[in-house]
Structure 1
Amino acid sequence: MQINGQAAIVTGGASGMGAETARHLAKLGAKVTVLDMNEAAVKQVAEEIGGLGLLCDVSSAESAEKAVAEARAAHGPARIAVNCAGVAPAKRIVGRDGPMALDDFRKVIEVNLIGTFNMLRLAAADMGTLDPLESGERGVIVNTASVAAYEGQIGQAAYASSKGGIVALTICAARDLARSGVRVMTIAPGLIGTPMLLNMPQEVQDSLAATVPFPKRFGQPSEYARLVQHILENEMLNGEVIRLDGAIRMAPQ
């Protein structure tokens, strides 16, 4: 797919990988709608790139449907959807205060997994209304998992479960949407230099970066964004999960 001129939706676009992806797609000529729960930050990113910034709770059908409708009214149905929205709280299954609250587990699943599916279903429905491109393609959806889907650490039961669900969803969704000419891919990042990591003490950052086989550093949000670009442009990429992790395999803790 040629990105220039296409409508795109990026969730979790107020910071980190989502914001960098929104910027990158805009530089490539896409008409970008950025969605996030941080309304002030998402509008700032949208203003920076000349796009549309909207408050959206991806775990809510009503909120997501409203946001997608507003994006459609502004830019037309999106051929590109990138799901970066997510939360990553850490909590042991059984801690000093007893078992993890079920609502804590549920919240992570609702935002990360149900939120991803919510946006996927809405994006795919809009893509299905578009005329096919010369190759028959109508759109591409890129989801975000994590290496925690494969090597969840202690305290990541909810997060790893949610990201494992996204991994499992990938091939199923790609097969399901193939008849519409919609591709579905997932990126599983490792240690990426987002605010969550970069706000840690420097000695902690250095210790974490040293665990990456090569290159011995955090990944950069721009590297995620460039991989999104390649996925969009390479039509044979479909139904697969790509690890973006420098060959890291996470230790138990």
Structure 2
Amino acid sequence: MHIKDRSFVISGGASGLGEATVRDLHAHGGYIAILDLNVDNGERIVRELGADRTSFFEVDISDPESTASAVKKAMTWIKTTGKPIGGVIPAAGVGMPGKLIDRHNEPIPLDRLEFVLNINIRGVIDLIRLCLPHMTTTEPTPDDKERGVIVLVSSSAAFDGQPGQLAYAASKGAIRSMALVLARDLAMYGIRCVAIAPGYFESAMTAAMSQKVRSSLERVLEFPARPGKGTDFAQMVRHCVENVMLNGECVRLDGATRMPSRM
């Protein structure tokens, strides 16, 4: 699918991997609806890139009413541009590590688990389901009859979950499992679904780690011997959009790194 003159909805698009994706797709001619909770960052990006092909919509992806309102506004904006929706990239996500039971033999508070699962699974599915009716009715491409693509954000934790990552690994494992199901469910509409599983990347989530944890992660990197950058991730998203044969798969983007069981 060509990126130029198509619209893309990106949640978590005001920072980190989401922002890098916004900038890359915009640079290749896309129209971008940025959905995020961070108003200052979102509006800054629109000022930098220009309001002709970008627009920001404030959203709390954990709140169904907020998500529905943001999607409605985004679709109204997309309609005014005349550029059909070509993709949805639900890049908003959270970590919040914690073992199921702590050193005092106390179970983790349920709200900590629910916070991660609510945003990383329910929020992703909600955004996709609200955007789909607008994508299924677009004019398909003349060659492969393609209408759009969903690019999910999984994680290496879906494969190599580390101690304290139970909720996060479960949520990203769910995202990994969704790719094939969505590809099969949406094949009749000409809509693809691909998941990307980044390894250790520079992001707001990893920036919050202690230097000890960061150093431990850097010791197990293979090649390249550096954390991934937002541009690396955005390039993979672009390839998922453009390559029609990528469908129903979860692509590991981790430089061959496998996370150890202990840091």
Question: 1:234 aligned to 2:243?
Answer: yes
Offset at 1:59?
Answer: 2.8
Q: Any idea what SS the aligned residue of 1:243 has?
A: strand
CA distance in 1 between partners of 2:238 and 2:16 (Å): 16
72, 78, 87: which is aligned to 2:85? 78
**Alignment map for 1:41-80 (pairs within 5 Å):** 41-50=41-50, 51-76=54-79, 77-80=84-87
CA distance in 1 between partners of 2:170 and 2:209 (Å): 25
Partner of 2:103: 96
Question: 1:222 aligned to 2:231?
Answer: yes
8 Å Cα contact 2:95-2:205 kept in structure 1: no
**Alignment map for 1:33-182 (pairs within 5 Å):** 33-50=33-50, 51-76=54-79, 77-97=84-104, 98-134=106-142, 135-182=144-191
Offset at 1:15?
Answer: 0.8
The alignment of Structure 1 onto Structure 2 pairs a total of residues equal to 253
CA distance in 2 between partners of 1:59 and 1:199 (Å): 21
Question: 1:12 aligned to 2:12?
Answer: yes
Q: Any idea what SS the aligned residue of 2:85 has?
A: coil
Offset at 1:103?
Answer: 1.4
Q: Give the fraction of aligned pairs with identical amino acids, expressed as a percent.
A: 39
Q: Any idea what SS the aligned residue of 2:151 has?
A: strand
Query: Any idea what the Cα deviations from partners look like across 1:219-242, whole Å, max 9, x if unmatched?
Result: 111010000111111001000000
CA distance in 1 between partners of 2:110 and 2:41 (Å): 30
Offset at 1:206?
Answer: 4.1
Q: Any idea what SS the aligned residue of 1:99 has?
A: coil
TM-score (normalizing by structure 1): 0.95
Structure 2: unaligned runs, 5 residues or longer: none
Question: 1:189 aligned to 2:192?
Answer: no
TM-score (normalizing by structure 2): 0.92
CA distance in 1 between partners of 2:107 and 2:233 (Å): 36
8 Å Cα contact 1:10-1:35 kept in structure 2: yes
Moved runs in structure 1, 4+ residues, more than 6 A?
A: none
CA distance in 2 between partners of 1:100 and 1:224 (Å): 32
What amino acid maps onto 1:131 in structure 2?
Answer: E
Offset at 1:248?
Answer: 1.1
- 53-62 or 152-161, larger mean C-alpha shift: 53-62
CA distance in 1 between partners of 2:204 and 2:61 (Å): 21
What amino acid maps onto 1:210 in structure 2?
Answer: R
What amino acid maps onto 2:21 in structure 1?
Answer: T
Offset at 1:207?
Answer: 3.7
Task: Check 1:214–1:236 CA distance in 2 against 1; reply closer, same or farther (3 A cut).
Answer: same
CA distance in 2 between partners of 1:83 and 1:144 (Å): 7
Task: Check 1:199–1:61 CA distance in 2 against 1; reply closer, same or farther (3 A cut).
Answer: closer
* Cα-Cα RMSD: 1.5
